[in-house]
Amino acid sequence: DSGVTQTPKHLITATGQRVTLRCSPRSGDLSVYWYQQSLDQGLQFLIQYYNGEERAKGNILERFSAQQFPDLHSELNLSSLELGDSALYFCASSVTGDGNYGYTFGSGTRLTVV
């Protein structure tokens, strides 16, 4: 157990729907990162939050949004889902906002859009 908790582990939904993925960072970590992993794109950085504020943005679609709450857990919202959004979504956390000491990853949420 890495200390980073992601729920749900699996999610199957239909095209056009909206889902929310949840992440609780490791205790003491202030920064949360979201990544999408697919066979063709590899591991793509989506967005980072640090202590409640957006810190960096990567290849995140406009249909996707995220936030970090005062208790430091984070949610990734995916809307108007398409078949191509099927992927593994990972959350990672780090103590510092720069991640110089590396990230701790959760075990991921596997999203299947049908």
Partner 1 sequence: AQSVAQPEDQVNVAEGNPLTVKCTYSVSGNPYLFWYVQYPNRGLQFLLKYITGDNLVKGSYGFEAEFNKSQTSFHLKKPSALVSDSALYFCAVRDPSGYSTLTFGKGTMLLVSP
Residues of this chain that interact with partner 1 (CB under 8 A) are 2, 4, 33, 35, 42-43, 45, 48, 55-56, 58, 90, 92, 98-108
Measured from the CB atom, the residue of 56 and 79 that comes closer to partner 1 is: 56
Cβ distance to partner 1 smaller for residue 76 or 92? 92
CA-based nearest residue to 29, from 11, 47, 2: 2
Query: Least Å distance between CB 31 and partner 1?
Result: 9
Smallest separation, CB 87 to partner 1 (Å): 14
